[in-house]
């Protein structure tokens, strides 16, 4: 049910300048954005967040003056709210019942985590624990790295939680018979030829940069210098815009050595933390290693199939080259046979010619032709052809270019 309420522009102005906008909206039972829309629609000025920050800090503030209109109808504002107006003394006297207060739904409480120091951490992370605890109170964000150390970047408030998570991970890997080691981002465990890697990260909140004590001192000195020289003071603009502060939400990631293709992620949630899911680590490690072994088997199978295809392709190419060489030899034999037949016919024709005592060069040509014919006859004989084929290896006793049965099988 909507309850109309009437108020003037001046009353709305006094309301929004007497308290922050969210509180003023709650007072009259409206959402904040609806109250902002009312102020804009009726030309009622409203303060911004800087006004309230300066007012709380005791700094001088400036209000925007209220300007009334000449039309009385414009001065009247009718507001329809879901909450009834506050009851007056006359309403109470007449027995009018006030509306029941609104019930506020309680949010689910965040799980409680154990931040007590771990007394006996695993010896494999002893150096990491010493390094973390040595920086417990030194700074807000702790970053450690080095040889034989689990590299992390976390908030100092999460150090004991991180130590417990590290201890649980190391003990789960050791229980599976893994060889423990370190990498640049966390810890590794190697079993059955596969490596599983764990790393821990903490989420951060981004907020406007707050000047550090050193930066505040620098700005104070600049103010004094500007006051002495009479120059206007302006802060340096090279300060970083945001600060990233750890918020206590941790993430445990199990991945491959190169950090790509994450297999499993545990993250602090609304109902459960990483510590509540420690019992999942052994099964997750087994599943990860089994999946890596299967992936390795598939990769090796694909590699062997690729090698088989490559060998078959090489043999097919060599068989094609051999066939071309055989055709070339055959063409050569045909040419030799044709030349020998033509030369034999010409020599037979020459024998019918009348000899001449001054044709010495001709006689020499005939002698050379007979020797040439004898050479050609030696080539086209079965033994001559076999010798040429044997020298070029075109028809071996055992063909090395036949694909063996193992190269014709495709593995799955």
Q: What is the pLDDT of residue 93?
A: 40
Residue 188: name the closest of 203, 176, 173 by CA.
173
Q: What is the pLDDT of residue 103?
A: 46
C-alpha dist (Å) from residue 181 to 54, 172, 255:
55, 14, 15
SS3 252: strand
Q: What is the pLDDT of residue 38?
A: 84
Residue 55's CB: how many other CB atoms inside 10 A? Answer: 13
Please give the Cα distance from 42 to 21 (Å, whole number).
16
Residue with tokens 């229980």: 175
Please give the Cα distance from 369 to 87 (Å, whole number).
139
For the record, the structure tokens of 39 come out as 């102020």
Residue 403's CB: how many other CB atoms inside 10 A? Answer: 13
pTM: 0.56
Backbone angle region of 258, left / alpha / beta, with phi > 0 → left and psi within -120 to 50 → alpha:
alpha
Q: What is the pLDDT of residue 220?
A: 86
Q: Give the distance from CA 234 to its chain's centroid.
A: 42
Please give the Cα distance from 203 to 103 (Å, whole number).
33
DSSP 15-60: HHTTS-HHHHHHHTT--HHHHHHHHHHTT-----HHHHHHHHTT--
Residue 209 near residue 167, CB atoms below 8 Å: no
User: pLDDT by residue for the chain (412 residues), tens digit each?
Assistant: 444 567 888 888 888 888 888 888 888 888 888 888 888 888 888 888 888 888 888 788 888 878 777 666 667 777 765 555 444 443 434 444 444 444 444 444 456 676 788 889 999 999 999 999 888 666 778 899 988 999 999 998 899 999 999 999 999 999 999 999 998 889 999 999 899 999 999 999 988 888 888 888 888 888 888 888 888 888 776 788 888 889 889 999 998 766 555 678 999 988 889 999 999 999 999 999 998 899 889 999 999 999 999 999 999 999 999 999 999 999 999 999 999 999 999 999 988 888 888 888 998 999 999 999 999 888 888 888 898 888 888 999 899 999 998 888 888 8
Identify the DSSP state of 271: S
Residue with tokens 């019930």: 103
Strands (E), 184-219: 186-191, 194-208
């Amino acid at each position: 049910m909507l309850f109309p309420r009437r108020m003037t522009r001046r009353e709305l102005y006094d309301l929004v300048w007497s308290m922050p906008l969210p509180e003023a909206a709650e007072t009259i039972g409206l959402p904040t954005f609806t109250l902002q829309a009312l102020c804009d629609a009726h030309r009622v000025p409203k303060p911004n967040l800087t006004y309230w920050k300066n007012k709380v800090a005791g700094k001088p503030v400036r209000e925007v003056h209220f300007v009334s209109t000449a039309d009385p109808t414009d001065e009247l504002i009718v507001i329809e709210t879901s909450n009834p107006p506050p009851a007056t003394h006359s309403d109470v006297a007449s027995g009018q019942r006030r509306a029941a207060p609104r019930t506020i739904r309680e949010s689910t409480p965040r799980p409680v985590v154990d931040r007590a120091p771990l007394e006996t951490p695993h010896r494999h992370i002893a150096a990491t624990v010493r390094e973390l605890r040595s920086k417990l109170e030194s700074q807000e964000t702790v970053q450690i790295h080095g040889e034989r150390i689990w590299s992390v970047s976390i908030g100092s408030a999460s150090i004991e939680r991180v130590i417990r998570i590290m201890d649980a991970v190391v003990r789960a890997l050791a229980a599976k018979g893994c060889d423990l080691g370190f990498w640049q981002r966390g810890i590794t465990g190697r079993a059955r030829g596969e490596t599983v890697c764990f790393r821990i990260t903490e989420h951060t909140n981004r907020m406007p940069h707050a000047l550090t004590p050193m930066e505040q001192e620098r700005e104070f000195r600049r103010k004094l210098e500007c006051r002495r020289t009479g120059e206007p003071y302006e802060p340096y603009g090279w300060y970083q815009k945001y600060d990233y502060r750890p918020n206590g939400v941790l993430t445990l990631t199990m991945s491959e050595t190169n950090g790509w293709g994450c297999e499993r992620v545990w993250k602090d949630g609304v109902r459960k933390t990483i510590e509540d899911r420690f019992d999942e680590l052994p099964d997750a490690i087994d599943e990860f290693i089994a999946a890596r072994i299967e992936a390795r088997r598939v990769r090796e199978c694909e590699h062997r199939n690729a090698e088989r295809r490559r060998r078959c392709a090489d043999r097919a190419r060599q068989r094609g080259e051999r066939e071309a060489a055989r055709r070339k030899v055959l063409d050569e034999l045909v040419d030799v046979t044709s030349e020998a037949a033509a030369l034999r016919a010409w020599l037979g024709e020459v024998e019918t010619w009348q000899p001449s005592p001054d044709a010495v060069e001709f006689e020499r040509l005939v002698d050379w032709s007979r020797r040439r014919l004898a050479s050609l006859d030696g080539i086209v004989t079965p033994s001559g052809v076999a010798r040429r084929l044997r020298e070029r290896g075109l028809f071996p006793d055992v063909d090395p270019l036949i694909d063996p049965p193992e190269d014709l099988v495709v593995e799955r």
